[in-house]
Amino acid sequence: MAANETLEYLKTIYGKKKVLTIGDLVNRMEVSEITVRRKLKQSGALTSYNKNGKYYTLPHIPTFDSHGLWNYKDIRFSKYGNLNRTITGLIGESSRGLSAQAIGELIGYPPHSLLHGLCTTSLINREKLHGKYVYFSVQPSLYQSQRERYDSFQKQATEDDLPCITAVRLLIEKIKRPKEDAKGLAGILGSENIKITELQINRFFDKHGLKKNRI
C-alpha cells in the first residue's frame, strides 16, 4: 500500500479522533501492533513528545503555532519530533538564542537535564551571559547571527533601562510639567546632576506606554 493510500486509510480509522494510542489503533484496525507501527511510519504520523510518546496523530491534524508546536489537551506534539529534536529545533529557529526558562515555557517541560545532555553531545552551544545560561545553535553562521542579535538586544535593553531613582524623578518632573518634551525634561534633570538623554526618555515613555506630551 502506497504512503498516500495508507494515510487515507488511517484517516478513516481515526474518524473524528485527533490522537490515538497504539492500543487504540490495534483495536480499531484489528491487526498486530507491528502492522500498526509500520502503517503509522509509512503515513508520516507524529508521536507526542510527552506522555512517554504514547499518542499518535496524523500529519493533516495538527495546527502548529509559530514555534512549530501543537497541544491537544495536555498532549504535546512538535513538527521537529521528540523532545531533544524539538529543543534543538527551537534553538536553531530562534533569532538570538533561548534561555532554559524560555525553552521550558515553550515545551511545557523542565528542560535542564535535556539541555545538559544536548550540550554534552555538542548538539547545542551554551554560554553564560548576563548571569544566566543562553543556548545557541552549533552551526557557525547561525551561531554568529544569534550572538550578534543577542548582544544587540542586551545593549538596547541596557540603554533603555533607567535606575529606579532616575525613573521616579523623570515621572515627577513630567507630572509637574506635562507639556514639557523629552529634550526639556533631560535638561531639567541634567541641571540636578541626573544623567539622562532625550532618547532614553522617549524610549522609557514608549516602553511603558506613556504619551510623550502628557501622562
At 194 the pLDDT is 86
Residue 40 has pLDDT above 70, yes or no: yes
In a domain, 16, yes or no: yes
Residue 212 has pLDDT above 70, yes or no: no
At 43 the pLDDT is 95
- Mark whether 150 and 202 lie in a shared domain: no
At 160 the pLDDT is 59
The CA dihedral of 18, 24, 27, 30, to the nearest 10 degrees, is 70
- Mark whether 24 and 62 lie in a shared domain: yes
- Mark whether 60 and 125 lie in a shared domain: no
- Mark whether 12 and 67 lie in a shared domain: yes
- Mark whether 139 and 171 lie in a shared domain: no
**What CATH code is carried by the domain that includes residue 122?**
1.10.10.10
What is the span of the domain harbouring residue 90? 81-157
Q: How many Å apart are CA 1 and CA 125, to the nearest integer?
A: 43
Out of 42-51, 85-94, 145-154, least confident range? 145-154
DSSP bridge partners of 99: 134
- Mark whether 66 and 100 lie in a shared domain: no
Mean pLDDT, residues 29-44 taken together: 96
In this structure, the number of other CB atoms found within 10 A of the CB of residue 197 comes to 14
Mean pLDDT, residues 151-159 taken together: 74
Among 194, 171, 174, smallest CA distance to 184 is for 174
Across 28-37, b (16+ Cβ under 10 Å) vs e yields: beeeeeeebe
CB 195 within 8 A of CB 159: no
Q: What is the pLDDT of residues 164-191, one digit of tens each?
A: 888 888 888 888 888 888 888 989 988 8
Strand-pair category, 98-99 with 75-78: unpaired
Q: How many Å apart are CA 77 and CA 194, to the nearest integer?
A: 52
Residue 207 or 12, more confident: 12
Mean pLDDT, residues 148-175 taken together: 80
Mean pLDDT, residues 199-214 taken together: 68
With cut-offs at 50, 70 and 90, classify the pLDDT of residue 1. Answer: low
- Mark whether 59 and 5 lie in a shared domain: yes
- Mark whether 75 and 124 lie in a shared domain: no
Out of 47-51, 97-101, 141-145, 206-210, least confident range? 206-210
Residue 61 has pLDDT above 60, yes or no: yes
98: helix, coil or strand? strand
- Mark whether 72 and 1 lie in a shared domain: yes
With cut-offs at 50, 70 and 90, classify the pLDDT of residue 157. Answer: low
**What CATH code is carried by the domain that includes residue 31?**
1.10.10
Q: How many Å apart are CA 85 and CA 212, to the nearest integer?
A: 46
CB 211 within 8 A of CB 179: no
- Using CA atoms, how far residue 83 sits from 26, 51, 182, in Å, is 26, 11, 49
Residue 128 or 196, more confident: 128
- Mark whether 90 and 70 lie in a shared domain: no
Burial of 91 (0-12, 13-18, 19+ CB in 10 A): buried
- Looking at the 3D structure of the chain, how many domains does it have? 3
- Mark whether 128 and 187 lie in a shared domain: no
Mean pLDDT, residues 25-36 taken together: 96
Residue 215 has pLDDT above 70, yes or no: no
